[in-house]
Amino acid sequence: MKARSVFIVIIVVATVIIPGWLQAQNNRVQNLPVYDYSKYHFGFVLGVNQMHFTVKPLANLHRIVFDSTFVEDISADSAILYSVEHEPVLGFTVGIVSNLRLGEYFDLRFIPSLSFGERYLDYRILKFRKGEETLIDIRKDIQSTFVDLPFHVKYKSKRSGNFRAYLLSGINPRIDLASQAKKERETNQVIVKLKRGDVYFDIGVGFDWYFEWFKLGTELKMSYGLTDVLKREHNIYSDGIDRLTSKIFQFSFTFE
């Protein structure tokens, strides 16, 4: 099963479970009745993520011929880049929750986390070698280990029994510890390099459930990178792309 299908299944299962669980809560005693009145509280987060790219190729890409200096690793005299596509892979996230109560319906949250993930860039290239044309497919593997430093404003609905829904939004600076932006090439193999830092805009929705000893949250969040993260190094894989931005989908559980 592809990573995207697994991610969708997780969301669907959670969506199916929520209504039945919520109905059961209406008949139960309210747990942690003064929990939300605390000025501060802490916890941790566990999640699964999918890291994506938004790829914008150069205009008139099919008409651009890259000479041999751009395609050293495929032994070609020249080449044309036909297409660039991406494929996400499931990763995971762990972090610490710090929550500051701003009011009855608003919280400020800081959730430093580590996110591990992987993405592929798939290139279709027509190469020319000694008068012969060959259409080839090349896949570049890009791994990332992000330090996430998000600040979110959380807007909460009115509590109903042991249930509460919420929306959140904020800015999330990320540092990619696995970035190879400064690594020198050691072999003939060309590595697609991403810049080390980026800033993301986060938006999400979630549900809090109050148990006897803790609060459990389920959350779906989308993160959209605001800058071009591709480092260009005079090769067909980087110089054939006009703009490359990141986006990350995450489904997580918070324990507070």
pLDDT by 10s per residue, the chain, length 256: 455 555 555 555 555 455 555 555 455 688 988 888 899 999 999 999 999 999 999 998 888 999 988 988 888 899 999 999 999 999 999 999 999 999 999 999 999 999 999 999 999 999 999 888 889 999 999 999 999 999 999 999 999 989 999 999 999 999 999 988 777 666 667 889 999 999 999 999 999 999 989 999 999 999 999 999 999 989 999 999 999 999 999 999 999 9
Give the model's pLDDT for residue 232: 92
Give the model's pLDDT for residue 189: 78
- Segment 135-144 long-range contacts (CB within 8 Å, at least 24 positions apart): 135/82, 136/74, 138/74, 138/237, 140/191, 140/192, 140/237, 142/118, 142/192, 142/194, 143/117, 143/118, 143/178, 144/51, 144/115, 144/116, 144/117, 144/118, 144/119, 144/176, 144/178, 144/179, 144/194
Give the model's pLDDT for residue 153: 98
Give the model's pLDDT for residue 186: 62
Give the model's pLDDT for residue 182: 74
Distance, in Å, from the CA atom of 15 to the CA atom of 250, rounded to the nearest integer, reads 15
User: What kind of fold does domain 3-56+91-120+145-231+242-255 have according to CATH?
Assistant: Porin (2.40.160)
Contact status, residue 194 vs residue 233, Cβ threshold 8 Å: no
In this structure, how many other beta carbons lie within 10 angstroms of the beta carbon of residue 130? 7
DSSP state of 21: H
Give the model's pLDDT for residue 58: 92
Give the model's pLDDT for residue 193: 92
The residue count for the chain: 256
Q: For the chain, which residues make up each domain, given as ranges?
A: 3-56+91-120+145-231+242-255
Give the model's pLDDT for residue 56: 94
Give the model's pLDDT for residue 57: 93
pTM over 0.95: no
